[in-house]
Amino acid sequence: MKADIQIVNVYPDLLGTYGDRGNSIILAKRLSWRGVKSQIIDICFDQPLPKDAQIYCLGGGEDVAQVSAAKQLSESSNFDYAIKQGAVLLAVCAGFQIIGGSFPDLNGSACKGIGILDANTFKNSSKRSSRAVGEVVADPSAGLGLATLIGFENHSGLTRLGNRTTPLGSVRKGVGNGYAKLEGAIDGHVVGTYLHGPVLARNPTLADMLLSWVVDDPLPELDDSEIDQLRAHIRN
């Protein structure tokens, strides 16, 4: 018998500012509706992360919590091991910044990220628009098989991708990474995005892309008509 797929919410007590938990709920339900068993595991700040889970979700957080989470995560050899073994990582907003080489703290000084992704984040110091807040629409990068990415952003970071990293998409509306009209990043099974909180709620194809990496068989179609209605409503 196959073991349940384990979906880990990494430090929901630090990185879970705005609905981030939704992503693990969505992944678990989309598995369950296809007859695949899964388990959501919340690992709080003072608990050790498992090294053998298949999916890890990192959410958004406020500045102080973000620095604490980055420090704790960089000391977790289990997490490092899991990602190197090809586990799936979805990193949203502050989580996206943490997994790069560096990110700014509350005062704008550079903090060391955990370096999973070839990307660095800087503070947006432009006086005119220091914070990117609003709806985002992005065309997904070719070859990913994703539908148009739709979400909400709320951040003050500018993230520059390195040569090894592919963007998740290019921004049609909104700010995204803040460089070259790009949004998010993808490298192997690691996905980072500024579409914050429950990004998978509006983007079922992104959810299924992550799931296709952990389920051997092709994923049966689901009835996403209600989500299509929501997507149409938002884009109008």
Partner 1 sequence: MLNGKRMRLWRMKVAIWMGLGFAKTTKALGLGQGEQLGGRVCLYVYPMAIHDLAKGKKTALISGTNGKTTTTSLLRAALALPAISNENGSGQINVISNTGGANLPSGITTALFSAHAEDSFCVFEVDESYLGEVARAVLPKVIVLLNLSRDQLDRVSEVKMLAEKWKTALELECLANVHLVVNADDPMVVWAVGNRGGGELVTWVGGGATWSADATTCPNCGGYIRRDTSNSWFCECDLKQPEYDWWLEDNGSFCVEKNNKDKIPILLDLPGSFNRSNALMATVAATFFGIKKEDAFEAMRNVTEVAGRYKKVKFSRGNITFRLRLLLAKNPAGWCEIFDILDPSSPVVVMAINAKIADGQDTSWLWDVPFEIIGKRYVVSSGERGWDLGVRLKYAQVEHKVVTDLSDALSHAVDTAIQRTESRGGKQCIKMDYVANYTAFQSLQKVMSSDKSYSKVLRKVRPL
Contacting positions for partner 1 (CB under 8 A): 13-14, 16-22, 25-26, 29, 45-46, 62-65, 67-68, 133-135, 152, 154, 196-198, 201-202, 226-227, 229-230, 233-234
The length of the chain is 236
**C-beta of 47 vs 85, nearer to partner 1:** 47
**C-beta of 60 vs 83, nearer to partner 1:** 60
**C-beta of 25 vs 41, nearer to partner 1:** 25
Ordered strands of the 5-10 beta sheet: 38-43, 5-10, 55-58, 88-92, 190-193, 185-187
Q: At closest approach, how far in Å is the CB of 165 from partner 1?
A: 25
Q: At closest approach, how far in Å is the CB of 135 from partner 1?
A: 8
**C-beta of 21 vs 112, nearer to partner 1:** 21
Q: At closest approach, how far in Å is the CB of 213 from partner 1?
A: 21
Q: At closest approach, how far in Å is the CB of 24 from partner 1?
A: 10
**C-beta of 180 vs 234, nearer to partner 1:** 234
Q: At closest approach, how far in Å is the CB of 16 from partner 1?
A: 7
Please check whether residue 15 is in contact with residue 68, taking contact to mean a CB–CB distance below 8 angstroms.
no
Question: What residue ranges in the chain does DSSP mark as E strands?
Answer: 5-10, 38-43, 55-58, 88-92, 102-104, 110-112, 119-123, 132-140, 149-155, 157-161, 169-173, 182-183, 185-187, 190-193
Exposed, middle or buried by CB within 10 Å (0-12, 13-18, 19+), for 205?
A: middle
Q: At closest approach, how far in Å is the CB of 19 from partner 1?
A: 3
Longest Cα separation, the chain: 58
SS3 161: strand
**C-beta of 161 vs 209, nearer to partner 1:** 209
**C-beta of 147 vs 160, nearer to partner 1:** 147
Please check whether residue 187 is in contact with residue 207, taking contact to mean a CB–CB distance below 8 angstroms.
no
Please check whether residue 227 is in contact with residue 204, taking contact to mean a CB–CB distance below 8 angstroms.
yes
The torsion of the CA quartet 111, 112, 113, 118, rounded to 10 degrees, works out to 110
Q: At closest approach, how far in Å is the CB of 120 from partner 1?
A: 23
